[in-house]
Structure 1
Amino acid sequence: MPEPAYQAAREQRTRRDDLDGSWVSALAELTERIRRLARAAALTEVDGDALRTVSETIAAATAALDERRRSGPLLGDFDQGRISVDNGRRIGATNTLVAPLEIEVDTYGAVARYHPDPLLEGAAGLLHGGTAAWLMDCMCGLLIEELDLTSRTANLTLDYRAPTPIDAELTLRSAIDRREGRKLWLRGSIEAAGRITVEASGLFIMLRS
């Protein structure tokens, strides 16, 4: 269905590719350093005084960044036709909560390779199941966008066939099964060392223009 209020709100947001390239590069560098900081904080064994010193430094840095704020994160990762690279999409460069992926797209589907962040661990040594669902939704949705279609997720079902290791390169795939009117059915998978650990199937509804 049409989403005029939602679309209007998005139009008031700043798009990443409308900004100066050097500024975006600096933000991408900051984003990656924040990811590294989060990992270091989760794994550190320094003493309490060191923790408090670092905490104060981070508080000062946060205050400096807060001096000028926009209404929301930069648009780009999930904007149709935006931030494209050859034969696919690159996401997560300027948002610490978006998995950094380079997704290749062709007539058969989409594929990406991803080494999970250790902070995405669920059970010991394994990828959290909710992260697997996010990755599959992302792979399916961006494939649809690369086909110049706009959709919303109606249903996404996952079959966790085997544990997915956190400390391994994963292969993410998505492909379109069939289309009926405004309905698109897609399938996806996560592989580790050539073994499928997660299978996904989803229904996506194309928006009316």
Structure 2
Amino acid sequence: MRRPGLPPGSSRSDDPALGLDTAESERIPQVESWTRSTGPDGEPGDGYGEMIARLRTFLDHVAAARLDTGTVTALADDLGAWCERLSDAAVPEREQVFGHRYDVLGRGQTMAPAFRVHEADRFSVRGTVRFGRYFLGGNGAVHGGAVPLLFDEVLGRLSGSAGRSRARTAYLHTDFRSVTPIGAELDVHGWFVSEEGRKRVLRAEIRHGEVLCAEAEGLFIVLNPGQP
């Protein structure tokens, strides 16, 4: 489908702004059994979520930009300076905040796109997601590796939600049914299929309107005491 505002005959992949208009508020809906009020060493409103949101946007713009040599050099210098500054704040894995802030979208990480939950209970979750330009595979489509990444994020969190013990992914099978578009609001649904002993089987799907983009099945194994 042609994006509004593009010249006749153009496709979504011709749009230089493809996947750059995905910014959403970092305020996370408080959905019972899914979210936590705060994360480790974090307080709501401390700015961490906004910083991560800007980092996501930065990655989208880097992916979309064709930079001149001067800009590349300046950006590399700035990033190098920030790496040096951040190195003094490094902490052991168990103390890091990245990926552990359940009070902000995406647990406060940029590896997977931010999944916004709209409703959830003990056995299912529904929400929406937008893949930014950073996740582009080509021709306006989400990279094939990014889709299972989202499924693992959603099903992994659902598997361990509502006070359940932590589990790890044993397998994640993904079927690609149609193109998953960059920049579009997509519906995500995940649910439990079965739970027996330490084994939890869950399924999920991504839809663009009525179109099924991809679906997945995952097996998650509950960790024994002391397992990493």
TM-score scaled to structure 2, two decimals?
Answer: 0.70
The structure with the greater share of residues assigned to helix is 1
Does 1:126 pair with 2:120? no
Query: After the TM superposition, which segments of 4 or more aligned residues of structure 1 sit over 3 Å from their partners?
Result: 75-78
Question: 2:114 matched to which residue of 1?
Answer: 100
- Whether the 8 Å CA contact 1:17–1:76 is kept in 2: the answer is no
For structure 2, the 5+ residue unaligned runs are 1-37
> For 1:155 and 1:20, how far apart are their aligned partners in 2?
32
Does 1:153 pair with 2:174? no
Q: 1:194 aligns with which of 200, 210, 216?
A: 210
Query: Closer, same or farther in 2 for the Cα pair 1:144/1:33, shift >3 Å?
Result: same
Question: 1:66 matched to which residue of 2?
Answer: 87
Query: Closer, same or farther in 2 for the Cα pair 1:58/1:181, shift >3 Å?
Result: closer
What do the CA deviations read for 1:153-185 (whole angstroms, capped 9, x no partner)? 112111111111112111111111122222221
> For 2:142 and 2:185, how far apart are their aligned partners in 1?
11
- Whether the 8 Å CA contact 2:199–2:221 is kept in 1: the answer is yes
How many pairs align?
Answer: 185
What do the CA deviations read for 1:118-168 (whole angstroms, capped 9, x no partner)? 111113211112111111111111112113222221121111111111121
Question: 1:144 matched to which residue of 2?
Answer: 159
- Which of 1 and 2 has higher RCO (CA within 8 Å, sep 6+)? 2
For structure 1, the 5+ residue unaligned runs are 1-15
* Letter paired with 2:141: L
TM-score scaled to structure 1, two decimals?
Answer: 0.76
Matches within 5 A, 1:20-31: 20-21=42-43, 25-31=46-52
Question: 1:8 matched to which residue of 2?
Answer: none
- How far 1:49 sits from its partner (Å)? 1.8
- Aligned-pair identity (%): 25
